[in-house]
């Protein structure tokens, strides 16, 4: 799969929760994330235009699921997990 340019946002109320959207998409225009989890009602930009590689391993996240969600619903919610959380 090709690299995806995404903007990453962090929940203002739970710093372990993140939202990934295609670069340039305003998360305020998305109703889905906050419908599923109120922690996404307020988000702060974490990283702009991140070159996301779905085939790469990122600590504590399922990169393939994030890519699939972005391609299908145009956003992905995820939390960083650690070995202790598993």
Give the Cα separation of 23 and 38 in Å (integer): 22
- Quick: pLDDT tens for 13-53: 999 999 999 999 999 999 899 888 999 999 999 999 999 99
pLDDT value of residue 1: 63
Domains of the chain with CATH codes: 4-79 (3.10.510)
Query: Are the C-beta atoms of residues 85 and 43 closer than 8 Å to each other?
Result: no
Give the Cα separation of 43 and 53 in Å (integer): 23
Confidence of residue 80 (pLDDT cuts 50, 70, 90): confident
């Amino acid at each position: 799969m090709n690299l995806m340019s995404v903007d990453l946002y962090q929940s203002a109320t739970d710093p372990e929760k993140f939202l990934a959207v295609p670069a340039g998409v305003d998360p305020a225009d998305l109703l889905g994330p906050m419908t599923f989890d109120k922690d996404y009602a307020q988000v702060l930009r974490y990283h702009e235009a991140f070159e996301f590689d779905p085939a790469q391993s990122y600590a504590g996240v399922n990169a393939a699921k994030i890519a699939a969600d972005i391609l299908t619903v145009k956003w992905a919610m995820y939390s960083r997990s650690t070995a202790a959380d598993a």
